[in-house]
Amino acid sequence: MKKEELVDLLQEMTIEEKIGQLVQVTGEVFLMDNIDTTTGPLKDLNLSNKTLYQVGSILNIVGSEKIRKVQDEYLSKSRLKIPLLFMADIINGYRTVFPIPLAQGCSWDPNVVYHCTKVSIKEAGSAGASVNFSPMVDLVRDSRWGRVMESIGGEDPYLGQVFAKTMIQAYQGEDISKLGNVAACVKHFAAYGAVEGGRDYNTVDMSEREFRQYYLPAYKSAIENGAEMIMTSFNTINGVPASVNQWLLREVLRKELGFKGIVISDYSAIEETIAHGVSKDKKQAAYRAIMAGVDIDMMSNVYANHLKELIDEGKVPEEILNQSVMRVLILKNKLGLFENPYGNIDEEREKRILKSEENLQEARKQTAETLVLLKNEKEVLPLKKNQKIALIGPYGDNIAILGSWSIFSDKSKIQTLKEVFEKRMGTKNVLYAKGSEILREKEINQILSADGGNIIHVENEEEKENEYLQQAIEIAKQADTIVLAIGEHYRQSGEACSRANIEISEIQKRLLNELAKQNKKIVTVLFNGRPLVLKDISEKTDALLEVWFPGTEGANAIADVIFGEVNPSGKLTMSFPQATGQCPIYYNHYQTGRPHISNIRFASRYQDIPTQSFYPFGYGLSYSKFEYFDLKISSPKITENSFITVSIKVKNNSNRGGKEVVQLYIQDLVASSVRPVKELKGFKKEYFEAYEEKTITFEITVDMLKFWSEKLQYQAEKGEFKIFIGPNAEEGEETIFELV
Ligand code: GLC
């Protein structure tokens, strides 16, 4: 449709029809034989049938057949035939599931993130998804928060910006109406990752400088790269919930960032402003949200049931309503839905594309890039296939390795480690024992009872535990190497999964302790959605491979690395703490006036643990050995309109080709406000042949030195800067230069 036709359409719409475009509900109700709004999620919404057939969009209905059915049912009763918009959470895959976003970011490779994102959205797009609630670009520093697993940039604003751009480009391409593209909804705006205590939905309160310096850049990058939609977060920002925060949505988002797309609330977040205590009732919640600039109300009914009276009373100018409705119509038009209400669905193609062999191969290849080798003493890894291994642990023969946002996944083709190892090594070389559950009954029920899930009962739990343990010890005795597959339960990671103790469970610790007494080499494979406290595990294990929740092809990718077909190259995007009490911990921290550099009593430190992280940001090993030397800078001085180059020699001192992520950090030594001990300003992931040496060069520009100053100006200040180039945030070569 042309723009003027959209204007005409808007003028034809009644107030109720306009408001309907700003309401999003789940789509199950349209799949019912007889529409029943008195049960399920719609019961609480108490929407009339009339309103239902005026809503503008649907949440989490995907699949050609379902979309055709829902769209037909809806349009059959829609006066103006404005098609529904289908939105979904395709977070790390549709039918073929890729590694969780935190893992994808650990590839430090935009191509890896691009391919994981592209295949996911080719599958979901061919099944009719028009808008995807991704990328999640929240900066995260506190591993107690269950949703760190979704953060594509981890604890670093630079990585967040790079990957936000990559994912928007992968989702939207040149034309969002084309097959394989969707409109992207960047989330959660804003600073949701900074919830106090790592407790989900909790308070966020920080200085404007902190917000602008660390939390805003990734959202800005997504918007600059054309994100069509943005989702407001559940949390407050400095005392005002994001969904009613005028400063955040009108000043920063619309005026400063120039965002023209749609603002959608998170699930019932507008109504939740009543619980926050800033709206006295649903009517005020509707008022505050529409005036702040939230266009679509996701799954609460405050817009549907209260906007009309606010407009009739003149409290909300109809122009405000019209602006929001026009933004929805424009997106529907960009997606081509007026001409083709079904989007790119095609039942035949959907069957062919979903979880095709090609997609599985792609998943296997990309997943291997996200695994992080944290320890490899005496080169225990890679294993040989003719070894006899004891594969032990609750993740040894377990398909629950997709992560918490794999709602559309097809689990039929997931192979377990046991199946893959037996294929690679022959069954006689793989002795298997479960060794333990992931959690004991009490712990599982603590999780399941929270959402009213039916709790479980384990008969003779202690007896079973000892039996599992004995079996494990028995097979350990017969093998020369133990591969221990342990980790978090998938329900311990994701939304509403905050943990006050981020260690592995007691039952798994017991298993490891008993196996460590067998004096065998132990390779630990860790399945988890957040940094964990790994001190105990690391001390008792010879090799430690962080695999996160690796997705459909996880077992194959793990085997490819374990047997050396792939040389691991992943690097951490979040610091691993020494103890839970060290959270939040992040590499780009401030020096403080009493840095804990030497062992003095009155320093900024804990008495009972070391001050630095257990595994630092940017850390990850390879089967190759990389040496950094000969750091050179083209000039010790840089001016406003010049740039300098810095180069370093990197040599692969091994007989194995492999990739290394060369990282560039800069520290502003003196400035009008405190500056981090270092900040990532660039990285290059390069392949090195055996014994190959390369010179890696970075350009340093004044732009890279800008920050939010004492007076909240975004500028670079003259003075000395330190450059670090190395394999992670704690090692490398350094030199000084000056901005004059
Ligand atoms: C959830 C999440 C958000 C998701 C939305 C729709 O509560 O916070 O990330 O996209 O609701 O499922």
DSSP 8-state class, residue 377: G
Is 133 near ligand 1, meaning CB less than 6 Å away? yes
Using one digit for the tens of pLDDT, what is the confidence trace for 247-296?
999 999 999 999 999 999 999 999 999 999 999 999 999 999 999 999 99
User: Which of 224, 231, 292, 288 is CA-nearest to residue 259?
Assistant: 224
Report CA(190)–ligand 1 centroid distance (Å).
14
DSSP 8-state class, residue 255: I
Is 89 near ligand 1, meaning CB less than 6 Å away? yes
The answer on pLDDT for 334 being more than 90 is: yes
H or E segment and range at residue 40: helix 40-45
pLDDT of residue 347: 85
209: burial class by Cβ within 10 Å (0-12, 13-18, 19+)?
middle
Mark residue 439 as left, alpha or beta (left: phi above 0; alpha: psi -120 to 50; beta: remaining). beta
Instruction: Yes or no: say if 188 and 140 are a contact pair by the CB < 8 Å rule.
Output: no
DSSP string, 650-670: EEE-SSS-EEEEEEEEEEESS
Is 228 near ligand 1, meaning CB less than 6 Å away? no
Ligand 1 atom closest to the Cα of residue 233 is: 8
Give the closest residue (by CA) to ligand 1 atom 7: 267
Q: Strand ranges (DSSP E) for 172-273?
A: 183-189, 229-232, 236-237, 240-241, 262-265
Lowest pLDDT segment from 37-51, 224-238, 259-273, 363-377: 37-51
| 42 — pLDDT class (breaks 50, 70, 90) | low
Q: What share of the chain is helix, strand, coil (3-state, %, to 5)?
A: 35, 20, 45
| 41 — pLDDT class (breaks 50, 70, 90) | low
Neighbours of 49 (CB within 10 A): 12
Report CA(266)–ligand 1 centroid distance (Å).
6
Burial of 146-185, coded b for 16+ CB within 10 Å and e otherwise, reads bbbbbbbbbbbbbbbbbbbbbbbbbbbbeebbeebbbbbb
Neighbours of 658 (CB within 10 A): 21
Direct distance between the N- and C-terminal alpha carbons of the chain, in angstroms, rounded to an integer: 55
Report CA(269)–ligand 1 centroid distance (Å).
10
The sheet with strand 297-298 has its strands ordered as: 262-265, 229-232, 183-189, 131-132, 85-88, 57-59, 23-26, 297-298
Give the closest residue (by CA) to ligand 1 atom 11: 267
Instruction: Yes or no: say if 652 and 696 are a contact pair by the CB < 8 Å rule.
Output: no
Using one digit for the tens of pLDDT, what is the confidence trace for 100-147?
999 999 999 999 999 999 999 999 988 999 999 999 999 999 999 999
The answer on pLDDT for 44 being more than 80 is: no
Counting residues of the chain whose pLDDT is more than 70, the rounded percentage is 99
Using one digit for the tens of pLDDT, what is the confidence trace for 512-565?
999 999 999 999 999 999 999 999 999 999 999 999 999 999 999 999 999 999
What's the whole-number mean pLDDT along residues 174-184? Answer: 94
Report CA(427)–ligand 1 centroid distance (Å).
43
| 353 — pLDDT class (breaks 50, 70, 90) | confident
**Candidates 109, 156, 266, 542; catalytic one:** 266
Ligand 1 atom closest to the Cα of residue 185 is: 10
Is 267 near ligand 1, meaning CB less than 6 Å away? yes
For a substitution probing ligand 1, which of 267, 299, 300, 497 has the most ligand atoms within 8 Å of its CB?
Answer: 267
404: burial class by Cβ within 10 Å (0-12, 13-18, 19+)?
buried
Report CA(116)–ligand 1 centroid distance (Å).
20
pLDDT of residue 243: 98
pLDDT of residue 126: 87
Report CA(298)–ligand 1 centroid distance (Å).
9
Is 147 near ligand 1, meaning CB less than 6 Å away? no
What's the whole-number mean pLDDT along residues 321-349? Answer: 95
Is 495 near ligand 1, meaning CB less than 6 Å away? yes
Instruction: Yes or no: say if 26 and 41 are a contact pair by the CB < 8 Å rule.
Output: yes
pLDDT of residue 230: 99
Distance (Å, whole) CA 369 – CA 659: 10
The answer on pLDDT for 609 being more than 70 is: yes
Neighbours of 629 (CB within 10 A): 10
DSSP string, 95-110: SSB---HHHHHTT--H
Ligand 1 atom closest to the Cα of residue 267 is: 11
Instruction: Yes or no: say if 468 and 121 are a contact pair by the CB < 8 Å rule.
Output: no
pLDDT of residue 691: 98
Mark residue 197 as left, alpha or beta (left: phi above 0; alpha: psi -120 to 50; beta: remaining). left
Distance (Å, whole) CA 619 – CA 625: 14
Instruction: Yes or no: say if 119 and 358 are a contact pair by the CB < 8 Å rule.
Output: no
Give the closest residue (by CA) to ligand 1 atom 12: 89
Ligand 1 atom closest to the Cα of residue 60 is: 12
Is 266 near ligand 1, meaning CB less than 6 Å away? yes
Query: What's the mean per-residue pLDDT of the chain?
Result: 96
Report CA(381)–ligand 1 centroid distance (Å).
39
Using one digit for the tens of pLDDT, what is the confidence trace for 569-586?
999 999 999 999 999 999
Instruction: Yes or no: say if 401 and 395 are a contact pair by the CB < 8 Å rule.
Output: yes
pLDDT of residue 43: 73
Give the closest residue (by CA) to ligand 1 atom 8: 266
The answer on pLDDT for 170 being more than 70 is: yes
The answer on pLDDT for 40 being more than 70 is: no
Ligand 1 atom closest to the Cα of residue 150 is: 9
pLDDT of residue 306: 97
SS (H, E, C) 380-439: CCCCCCCCCEEEECCCCCCCCCCCCCCCCCCHHHCCCHHHHHHHHHCHHHEEEECCCCCC
Distance (Å, whole) CA 139 – CA 153: 7
For a substitution probing ligand 1, which of 137, 266, 406 has the most ligand atoms within 8 Å of its CB?
Answer: 266
pLDDT of residue 309: 98
The answer on pLDDT for 709 being more than 90 is: yes
Residue at token pair 């839970």: 580
Counting residues of the chain whose pLDDT is more than 90, the rounded percentage is 91
List 157's β-bridge partners, or say none. Answer: none
Distance (Å, whole) CA 670 – CA 661: 28
| 450 — pLDDT class (breaks 50, 70, 90) | confident
User: Which of 535, 540, 532, 490 is CA-nearest to residue 515?
Assistant: 540
List 719's β-bridge partners, or say none. Answer: 739
Decide: pTM greater than 0.85.
yes
The CA angle 489-492-495, to the nearest 5 degrees, is 140
Tokens of residue 233, six digits? 């977060």
What's the whole-number mean pLDDT along residues 63-70? Answer: 94
Instruction: Yes or no: say if 303 and 270 are a contact pair by the CB < 8 Å rule.
Output: yes
The answer on pLDDT for 358 being more than 90 is: yes
pLDDT of residue 413: 81
Tell whether omega for the bond before 135 is within 30 degrees of 0, i.e. cis: yes
H or E segment and range at residue 562: helix 554-562
Residue 266 designated active-site: yes
